[in-house]
């Protein structure tokens, strides 16, 4: 299985390569989302993105309802379940 990677620009001006875990659309808000993880410390992150921009300009501002949906999706993926979103 091939892994996909994205490069994230950090606030300090450095960049870090991250592994793409999943991409999907949230049901309630129809936001396109990505879950990715740091290769260095294995921390997971989630963001929304504009499909026309190809994962650039990631947005991590989510409502409480969207955060709950993201947690459910992450837990499903984390415990070996499949995501049908």
* Position with higher pLDDT, 26 vs 1: 26
Each residue's pLDDT tens digit, 35-79: 999 998 889 999 999 877 678 789 999 999 999 999 998 888 877
Cβ proximity of 83 and 23 under 8 Å = no
Distances (CA, A) of 32 to 15, 50, 56: 23, 7, 12
pLDDT at 81 (0 to 100)? 63
| Chain position carrying tokens 């870090």 | 16
Is it the case that residue 83 has pLDDT exceeding 70?
Answer: no
pLDDT at 10 (0 to 100)? 86
pTM: 0.81
């Amino acid at each position: 299985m091939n892994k996909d990677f994205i490069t994230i620009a950090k606030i300090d001006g450095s960049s870090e390569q991250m592994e793409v875990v999943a991409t999907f659309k949230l049901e309630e808000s129809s936001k396109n989302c990505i879950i990715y993880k740091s290769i260095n410390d294995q921390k997971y992150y989630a963001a929304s993105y504009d499909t026309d921009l190809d994962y650039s300009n990631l947005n991590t501002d989510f409502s409480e309802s969207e955060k709950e949906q993201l947690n459910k999706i992450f837990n499903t993926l984390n415990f070996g379940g499949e995501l049908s979103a």
